[in-house]
Each structure stands twice: as C-alpha cells, then as structure tokens.
Chains A and B, each alone.
Chain A
Amino acid sequence: MSNIVLTADGVTKHFPGVVALRNVSFDIRAGEVHALMGENGAGKSTLMKVLSGIYQADGGSIHHQGHTQNFHSPKDARDRGILLVHQELSLSPELSVAENIYLGAWPTNSFGVLNKRKMNTEAQQALNALGCDFGPTVRVGSLSIAKQQMVEIARTLAFNANVVIFDEPTGTLTETEKSQLFDVIRSLRKRGVAIVYISHKMDEIFEITDRITVLRDGEVQGTVNTRDSSIAGITKMMIGRDLDQYFHRAQSIIGKEVLKVSHLSSQGLFEDVSFNVKAGEVVGLYGLIGAGRSEVAETIFGVRDRESGTIEFNGESVHFTSSRDAIDMGMALVPEDRKQQGLILGMGGRHNTSLPHLKLFSRMGVTDIQSELAVFKEYKEKLDIKTTGPEQVLGDLSGGNQQKFVLAKWLCAGPKLIILDEPTRGIDVGSKSSIHRYIAELAEQGLAVIVISSEMPEVIGVSHRILTMANGKIVGEFSGDEMTEENLITAVSVVSEVS
C-alpha cells in the first residue's frame, strides 16, 4: 500500500510478569484517521508509548517514512514528527501557552536567552491555524480543559507532525467542544497527517475514523475499514465472543414508590423537577452535559441546598442537609468523577469499600477487619473485580475495576435507592457489560435505581423508563417502545433551540 507513514512490524514488549504486546504489526497511512480499539489492558497505551518513544520495544521494529527507527525518548520521536496528545494532558499549568507548545525546544540564542518574540509569533500562527480564541502568552492553568487540549494539538502543528496520536481525547469534553475537536482532526487529515485515534466510544469511532485496528491481550485481532464494519462486529473482536445481550434490562417486579420528587427547584440550575421511582425500577435520566441532571441528584442526596419543592423517601418527607443523613437513610449516590469524588486511590479495596459505612463495620470505634474482608470478597466475586487482593491500592487498577469498587462501596450498606451518575464513563466494553448486568440484578432484588447517562444506547438499554432533561427542566418521559434514540434526541434538542 502506498503513502504508509508509520509501520509497526512484529513489535513485542514485556513488563515484569506480563507480555504487554505480542508480535504487533500494523500501519498508518498519511491522511487517514486510524482507530485503535481494545478493552482496558489490551495494550493500546503501551503500543502508543512504544511508537512515541516513551517505551522501547523488546522485539520487532518500527519503520517511519521508509527508515527503520529506534526512538530512545519522546524527544527523538518528536524530532521525527510523531507526537502524542495525552489523555491526561501533559502541560505545565504555570507556564504560558507558547512556552508549553515549545516545551523543551524553546528558541534561544547561543547563551540560552529565550527569544520570546519569535516563540510567541510562531505559537500564534499555530493557534490561528486551529482557530483558537486565546493568545500565546496566557497562562495554561487558566484555560479550560478543552482549550488546554488545543494547546497540545497546536504543539503538533508547531513541530510539523506527520503522525499524531490522540489518546482518549474526548473524555472530558462537552458535545460542542467535541465537534470542534473533530473539525480540527479532519483538517489535520486534509493536510496529510496520519492520525491514530484511541477511544472506547463507538459512536466517535464510526464518526471520525477510516480504519480500525483491534487489540486484545496484546495481540492484533485485525484491521478493518470503518465503513465495512459494525459495532457488533468490532465488539466481538474486542471481547472475543458475541455479546449475546449487550445491555441487560432488569426483569423485575415493580413495587411501591420509593422516591417521589415534587416541584424541586434550585436557582439557576434546575426548576420544577417532579418524578418518582419505584422499587425494582430503573429510571434513566438522559440529557446533554449541563442540563442539570447531576445537580438534581446532588440535591436529592443533600449535597446541595434546594430552593423549593419536596422529596419523599419511602413515603416520608425528607430534607437531608448532608450526604451523611442520606446514606444513613438508605440512599446512595455514585458520583460521576470517580477519581475526585468516589475513591481514595492510594488505599486498597478493603478500606475503600467500607469507608462510607465504618459505623457498620466497627465496634466502639475499632474496625472489624474480618467483616470488612468478607464484604470485600463478596463484591470481588459478584462484580468480577480483577485485583490481586484486599490491600492492592486502587490506583493500580484499570478504570473499569475502579468503577466496580465505587459500586461495591455504596452497595454494601444495602441502600433502598441508588443513583448512578455516568456509571460507565471511560471504561472498557467488558467492564461496562458487567456493570449493566449488575444494575439489572440490583433492580431485580427490589432496589430503586436512577441511571444518569449521556450515552443513549446505555440509557435505552438498561432503563424501564427514561426522563429527558434540558436546561434544568424535565422535558419528556418515555417508556417501552417509545425509548428510541430519535425520540430522546428530539426531546432534548427541541427545547434547547426554543430557549
């Protein structure tokens, strides 16, 4: 095939005890967006780190523009025009935009004195090419995440990159920011840049990419043209079996009302929100980011103050002033950002699981390790959590397994109502599927469940009933066959246009 820019030929990489990459071969062409997919731990990140010089391969070779290369450092790869746009942005917040763009390659005279004017002018050119509305002298820490990402992309223009690797670039972006990013990716493609795009999100893959290479357990499962493939086909390649049922809707007996929210309002966030949830029922809350879904959940849970309206829980009017009250009454909220709110990554699974309920696990202030261990073991089996033991720190686990601990932590106290805010964001297909199955199981046991999600297939797949939210109001309710992607998107978009 012509115009191949970068080829990996039989690349192998060992880490102590594991083979991260086994004989991996694939190629990237100029002017294409090439998706790299696989479950967490399949070796995508390792492969990208080998290609961009962060890791060195143990076997095989890398050919770049006709030359066999052996990158010793990210700088080596960058000098050849291969740049990585990191998932966790790798910028220095205290430095200026221009200084970050040229990090480590600042234009200087022979005495090491910076030529700030040259640097700022050239940075401005790169920013203009991307259509950025901020200047080169702004401090990076004062920019939004999406703009910081643009700084990383500007870096690829400044270094005249011929290969750009995007690692999960849309994880923290809103819809608008995402479509801006896609415009930028398309314009890079038009310039003939070879682009590698790593993501878990099928809709993005099918929207932006030309070819897809799937990795599983460090081996290439195949490369296909995007337009010739289907979500089901790719999923099968990723997990190595058919997902007989990709989503699991609970077959539960709907019982009495558990939660009743009436005319709940909070200034500037949401207004006149009314709905109910029954035992055994899964209610989906769909809406775009900023619609007020998380704020409603946090208000019910007592984290935020409400302005007006009432909340009835198990037939009793409640007004929680702290999350502690809500937890003690049998409510659980699994927050969206597990790293910031859900887990303590430096502690092990045992401690994380018992953390919100230490009262239940202790006698006179002394924790009972045996019962902690029993609960840890129970959920490790129930949720199929891959961890070496109760003390392994959660920071070492994959996102999917971390998320399972978030669930375990809230479920072990036996709540009556559980609110899940984006329960599967940024985790792999396999973990997603086991979390969906578990949501169904919970409802079948008689819990009332609220699932907040921005992913339509997910919210349709797991819910009995879906409420749509836009601009802080509930704008629609769908159940049964009415729960289609068309209905949901119309419901949330019509209202946003009006206001």
Chain B
Amino acid sequence: MIESKRYGSMSSVLKILGENHIWFFLAICIAVFSWASPYFLTMNNLGNVLTQGSFIGLLAVGMTLVMINGEIDLSVGAILAMACALAIGLQDSMGALPAILLAILSGAAFGFVNGALVALSGIHSFIVTLGALIGIRGVVFIYTGEQALMVEDFSYTEYAEVYLGPLSLTAMIFLGFTALFQWLLSNTRHGREAYAIGDNIKSAHEAGIRVKRHKVINFVLCGVLAAVAGVLLSMRLGTAEPNAGKIWELWTIIAIVLGGTRLTGGYGSMWKTLGGVLTLAVMLNGLRLLNTPNYIELMVMGTVLVLALVLDKTLANKKTN
C-alpha cells in the first residue's frame, strides 16, 4: 500500500515534468551557457534576459489564449507597433497617461475587429490576421510618416525603470499576466471554455457555449496584451519605429510551440508558454554573449526549434505506446 502510494506521488511528479518537456530543455540551455560564458549566470544578466523576453512573452500570453481556441493571431507584431507609435505620438498633445490608455484601446479595437471577422465570416483566422498584419502595419507607416517618432519628454522613459531586485517593471508585468492568465485558464469558466472550444467545437456549441462571443473576447485580450507590450517598448526605447515588432509574431509562435501548446487547439498552458519564452530568450542572450554572428544565431535557433519539437513528439509517442 505504502509502496504504491510512494510510486504514485513520484509518478505524478514525473507526469508533470513529462508534460512540460520545455523546462528540461531550458535547464539544459542554462547549464550550457553558464559553462560557456562567465557573464551568463549573473543576477544582472538573468534579469536582462527576462526583460528582453518579456515583449515576446506578452505577445505569447495573448496568443496562447487564441491558440488554445484553435485560432491564430498573426497581427500581434503590427498591433504592438501601432500602440508604440500612438503612445509616443499622442503624449505631446494629451499627456502620457491618456496616450497610453488610447494606445491600449487601439489594441483592443484591432483585436475586436480580428475576432469579429473570424467569428462572423467563418474565414480562418490565419487569413484574417494575415490581412490585419499587412493592413495595420500600413496604418503605422501612415501615422508615423515613415519616420521614427521620438519622445519629447524623456522622463517618460523612466516610467519603466522600476526594479524589484533584478526584476524590471516590464518583467513583473509579464510574469503577472502569465500567472493571471494561467489562473484564468484553469479556474474560470472562460478559461475552461477556451479548451472545450479548441478541443471539440461542435460539442462546445451543442453544450450551449457561446463560441463566437468567446473567440472575440480572446482576440480582444490578445490585442490588449500586444498593445501593452507596445507601450512598454516605447518606454524602454523612447522612440517608435514604424518597423517595430516586425516578424515578432513568428518568434511568438515559435515560443508557444516550443513550450508545447498545440497549434491545433484544445491543449496548452501559460506555464508551457512561459517555458518557451524563457528558452528562446536564454538562447538569444547566450549566443550574443558568445559573440555568435547573426546568421549563425538564426541557424542555431532554427535547428534547435526543430530538434526540440522532434524530441517533444518522440516523448509524446513513447507515452502513448
């Protein structure tokens, strides 16, 4: 009896680890870079890694919600750029706080349009948000006049300079949203509906879940989080480049998939996404500390991504056999 109980608790720990391969992978990455570079394993650097990863991280938290629904949002990079431009462009005329609110509101509005188009037209979100990716980027170029906008009052850039030990405000916001949305996923009706819809949309609909409304809400949340990332980026840089966040939607997808959330929906969690985001950030940081040339960096990242997914698939297959 005791024997079986001990086995039971051990196997449940193994089960949790087995379901989140990414944390193993992250541990390996940290070990390798700690060995390869003396600068890597310092409080200061690890804090930096987290801050750098937080922008993709915020995009990924929102997109994980959408992905569990079985959808995708390719427009997050463009929404981020728009929010970044609005936060800087509007603050001279109306003050920083209203500008920030409007910037975040723009994210909500774009998310709403994405979600409404997907839910009402029935066109796949890949197509809808691919259109949004191009269209919103166009709006950003028009708004900024193809120039980088500069902040006039440099005190704005100090808003984000709040630290708790090595944790920056940006990192705290990212971790806070991760925890909040993980709680939302596992403990609220909306969160459980997200899985039900992504897993078996027909049974969800037949059970009376309002599928369309649910999806629109998730696209709005995804847009809001992208805009929050945009505002934080504007504080960090003090400028708004029209090209900000370009192809970040791809890095976001890579982080999520690396974490283990399924592109097909119905399966995933914020813990997985957090693992994926951190792994990506650690690898980028580590390779830069080692002065790896940019093209080699891309090559390594691509290879590692594919290898990590092959490993994940192999382990998953082993488990089912």
Instruction: Check A114 against B203 for contact (C-beta < 8 Å).
Output: no
Most-contacted residue by chain A among B203, B266, B267 (CB, 10 A): B203
A60 contacts chain B at the CB level, 8 A cutoff: no
**Stretch of B58-66, B189-197, B246-254 at the chain-chain interface:** B189-197
The answer on a CB contact under 8 Å between B188 and A95 is no
CA distance A164 to B193 in the complex (A): 25
Q: For the complex, is A104 an interface residue (Cβ under 8 Å from B)?
A: yes
Report, nearest first, the 10 A-B pairs whose CB atoms are least far apart.
Answer: A75-B208, A104-B207, A90-B203, A92-B199, A103-B207, A74-B206, A104-B208, A112-B189, A104-B209, A92-B200
Proximity bits, A26-40, B CB within 8 Å = 1, else 0: 000000000000000
Distance from B193 Cβ to chain A, minimum over Cβ atoms (Å): 8
Q: Evaluate contact between A90 and B202: CB separation under 8 angstroms.
A: yes
In the bound assembly, the distance between CA atoms of A105 and B208 in angstroms comes to: 8
Complex: how many Å from CA A462 to CA B199? 43
A95 close to B192 (CB less than 8 A): yes
A105 to B210 CA separation, bound complex (whole angstroms): 12
Is B204 among interface residues, defined by CB-CB distance under 8 A? yes
From 102 to 147 in chain A, residues with beta carbon under 8 angstroms from any chain B beta carbon are: 103-106, 108, 111-114, 116
Tell which of A95, A112, A114 touches B195, judged by Cβ atoms closer than 8 Å: A95
Q: How far is the CA of A168 from the CA of B278 in the complex (A)?
A: 49
Query: In the complex, which residue of chain A has the Cβ closest to the Cβ of B197?
Result: A92
User: Is B187 close to A, CB under 8 A?
Assistant: yes
Q: Does A82 contact B (CB under 8 A)?
A: no
Decide: B207 and A93 in contact? CB cutoff 8 A: no
Q: How many A-B residue pairs have CB under 8 A?
A: 66
Q: What total of chain A residues lie within 8 Å of the partner, measured CB to CB?
A: 22
- Pick from B187, B189, B193, B199: contact of A94, CB under 8 Å: B199
Residues A92 and B266 in contact in the complex (CB < 8 Å), given A74-B206, A103-B204: yes
Evaluate contact between B209 and A93: CB separation under 8 angstroms. Answer: no
Interface string of A47-82 (1 = CB under 8 A from B): 000000010000000000000000001110010000
Known contacts A113-B187, A114-B187, A114-B189: does B199 contact A104 (CB below 8 Å)?
A: no
State whether the Cβ of A444 lies closer than 8 Å to any Cβ in chain B.
no
Interface residues of chain A, those whose CB is within 8 Å of chain B, are 54, 73-75, 78, 90-95, 99, 103-106, 108, 111-114, 116
Cβ of B198 to closest chain A Cβ, rounded Å? 8
Closest to B262 in A: A94
- Chain A neighbourhood of B267, CB < 8 A: 94
- Please give, as numbers and ranges, the residues of chain B lying within 8 Å of A90 by CB-CB distance: 200, 202-203, 206
Tell me the nearest residue of chain B to A54, going by C-beta: B206
> Given B189, B190, B196, B202, which contacts A95 in the complex, CB threshold below 8 Å?
B196
Q: How far is the CB of A29 from chain B (nearest CB, A)?
A: 26
> Which chain B residues in 165-196 approach chain A with CB under 8 Å?
187-190, 192-193, 195-196
Measured in the bound complex, the distance between the Cα atoms of B201 and A103 in whole Å is 12
In the docked arrangement, what's the CA distance between A95 and B206, Å? 16
B residues near A104, Cβ cutoff 8 Å: 193, 196, 204, 207-209
Q: When A74-B207, A75-B208 are in contact, do A92 and B195 touch as well, CB less than 8 Å?
A: yes
* Given known contacts A92-B266, A95-B195, A108 and B189 CB-to-CB distance under 8 angstroms: yes
Determine the residue in chain B with the shortest Cβ distance to A73. Answer: B208
- A54-B206, A74-B208 in contact; A103/B187 too (CB < 8 A)? no
Residues of A within 8 A of B266 (CB): 92-94
Min CB distance B67 to A, Å, is: 13
Q: Which residues of B contact A105 (CB under 8 A)?
A: 207-208
Q: In angstroms, how far is the closest chain A Cβ from the Cβ of B10?
A: 19
B192 and A114 form a contact (CB under 8 A): yes
A113 touches B188 (CB 8 A): yes
Q: How far is the CA of A333 from the CA of B209 in the complex (A)?
A: 44
Q: Are B204 and A92 in contact (CB under 8 A)?
A: yes
* Smallest Cβ-Cβ distance to A141: which chain B residue: B199
CB pairs A–B below 8 angstroms (12 shown): A54-B206, A74-B206, A90-B206, A92-B200, A92-B204, A94-B195, A94-B266, A95-B195, A103-B209, A104-B193, A104-B207, A108-B189
Which residue from A74, A95, A116 sits with its C-beta under 8 Å from B199? A95
Q: Known: A73-B208, A75-B207. Contact between A91 and B188, CB under 8 A?
A: no
Contact A112 B203 (CB under 8 A): no
Nearest chain A residue, comparing its CB with the CB of B68: A94
A contact residues around B193 at 8 Å (CB): 104
Kindly state the separation between the CA atoms of A73 and B188 in the bound complex, as whole angstroms.
24
Given A93-B199, A93-B200, A113-B187, answer yes or no on A106-B192 (Cβ-Cβ < 8 Å).
yes
Q: Residue on B with the closest CB to A119? A: B192
Q: Which residue of B lies closest to A104 (CB)?
A: B207
Give bound CA distance, A90 to B187, whole Å.
Answer: 23
Q: In the complex, A91 Cα to B200 Cα: how many Å?
A: 7
> Which residues between 189 and 246 of chain B lie within 8 Å of chain A, taking CB atoms?
189-190, 192-193, 195-196, 199-200, 202-204, 206-209
Choose from B187, B188, B190, B203 the contact partner of A92 (Cβ within 8 Å).
B203
Closest CB-CB distance, B214 to chain A, in whole Å?
11
Say how far B316's CB is from chain A's closest CB, in angstroms: 12
Q: CA of A108 to CA of B202 in the docked complex: distance in angstroms?
A: 23
Residues of chain A with a CB closer than 8 A to B208's CB: 73-75, 78, 104-105
| Sample of 5 further A-B pairs with CB below 8 A, known A92-B196, A116-B187 | A90-B203, A93-B199, A103-B203, A103-B204, A108-B189
* In the complex, chain A residues whose CB is within 8 Å of the CB of B195: 92, 94-95
Digitize B256-275: 1 where CB-to-A-CB distance is under 8 Å, 0 elsewhere.
Answer: 00000000001100000000
List of B residues within 8 angstroms of A78 by Cβ: 207-208
Complexed CA–CA distance, A90 and B203 (Å): 5
For A92, the chain B residues whose CB sits under 8 A away are 195-196, 199-200, 203-204, 266
Q: How many Å lie between the Cα of A114 and that of B206 in the bound state?
A: 20
Query: How many angstroms from the CA of A92 to the CA of B200 in the assembled complex?
Result: 5
Which of A75, A94, A103, A114 contacts B188, CB < 8 Å? A114
Inter-chain CA distance A418–B203, complex, in Å, is: 39
Contact indicator A106/B199 (Cβ below 8 Å): no
In the assembled complex, the Cα of A106 lies from the Cα of B196 at a distance in Å of: 12
Query: Given the complex of chains A and B, what is the CA–CA distance between A312 and B187 in angstroms?
Result: 63
